[in-house]
Every structure is written in structure tokens, then in C-alpha cells.
Amino acid sequence: MTSLLGWAEMLKNVEPQTSELKDITEEISNDLDKLNKIAGRFSKIGSQPKLDKQDIAGVVQKVADYFEKRIPTLISSDGRVTKKVQLDIISSGDVNANINKDLFEWVIENLMKNAIDAMERKEGKIVFNITGSNGEVHIDVTDDGKGIDSKFKKDVFRPGYSTKQRGWGLGLSLSKRIIEDYHKGKLVLVESMPGKGTKFRIKLHRN
């Protein structure tokens, strides 16, 4: 990892520094930082991570910004370039909660990856709706992907369960553990319909 970070720094000094090279170098550095962060996250599993007051919409937006640059694009017949998957974040004002930012980002990443995969390489939309009331924060994650068959709904949080050809089926089970064991909240499947989409909800305590 240290060696790769060193190469990324060297790229920043290559001349001429075109805007394209700068963008590529920056994203390589971001990806390496992400790998470093992932390694650190595993060390927090099993310990008692520190929780701090955070702006939930800001944390979700940071994850969305990272993913948005990596979502494939479409070119329409009139030459317009658009993203295959649209990410929308809706927040009812300042919504804060005590979270471990690093682990919470991991949960949002897992939910976002699942939603993108549910599009099956087609156009789609993912909406994060963040609300706070009565001492609780709700983060609803809704996609218009392929949905989940009713007979599999009870298994979505089971370790090892996956409908994807790749992966270990740990994303949702790990996310549930992070939210419920470390944040004393809830992660639930609200609804899902084959061919229509899926909605997950994260529930957190504001204090």
C-alpha cells in the first residue's frame, strides 16, 4: 500500500500536468485511501468504536460523490452524456446522530453497491431520504432495480446469502451488525417487489 501511494505521489509530479492526468491521479489516490480505510475498518470490528455527532446527509453525500465518479455513463442520440444510475439525496434540514463515521460510511457503501447491482447494468435511480423526528433518524434507501422475491426476503441479512455471482454475501449482514450492535439502531428491509425495486431503512438514535 505504501509503495502504491508513493507511485501516486510521483504521478503528481509528471510534466506536463494535463487536467486529465490530474483527475486520474486524484482518483487513484482516492482509491488507495479507500483501500487503506477498508483495512482499518476490519480492526474496528470486535472493538467498541467511538461515536461522534455527525451530519448524516453530509456523510451520505461524501459516499455518493465517490460512487458517482465511478458509475458508467450513457451517451444519448443527441450526444448528451448522462449517468446510468442517478443518485439523489433528500434531507429534511440538519439531521445529526452519534455515529462512527468510518463504519457508518461502510454501511452506506454496502447499501449503495447493492442498489447499483440491482439495476443489472441498466438505467435506474437510487434515493437516500434522510429524516429526523421524535429522537430518531431514519435513512431510507430506495432503488428501482430488480427487487427481491418474497421467498428470499427472510434471508437477505443472513451471512453468505447473495444473488450475485461474485462476492461472499457479507455486505448486508455486516451492515446490520454495524448498525445494531455498534450504533444500537436498526437496519430493516421495508419493502421489495420483483421488477419494481427495494427499500431499506436505517434507524438511529439522535442522542
The confidence score (pLDDT) of residue 15 equals 62
Are the C-beta atoms of residues 56 and 137 closer than 8 Å to each other? yes
CA distance 113 to 171: 9
Residues 56, 136 contacting (CB under 8 angstroms):
no
198 vs 54: CA distance, rounded Å:
26
Contacts of 158 (CB under 8 A, 6+ apart): 169, 173
**Confidence at residue 134, expressed as pLDDT on a 0 to 100 scale:** 86
Q: Where are the domains of the chain?
A: 1-44, 50-205
The DSSP secondary-structure symbol of 167 reads S
Looking at residue 43, its pLDDT comes to 63
Structure confidence at residue 46 (pLDDT): 64
Q: What is the pLDDT of residue 168?
A: 47
pLDDT tens over the chain, length 207 residues: 444 545 555 556 656 667 766 776 677 776 667 666 766 666 666 667 889 999 999 999 999 998 887 776 655 556 665 668 889 999 988 899 999 998 999 999 999 988 988 887 678 899 999 999 889 999 999 999 999 998 889 899 988 777 665 554 578 999 999 999 999 999 999 999 999 999 999 999 986
50-205 is a CATH 3.40.309.10 domain:
no
What is the reported pTM?
0.74
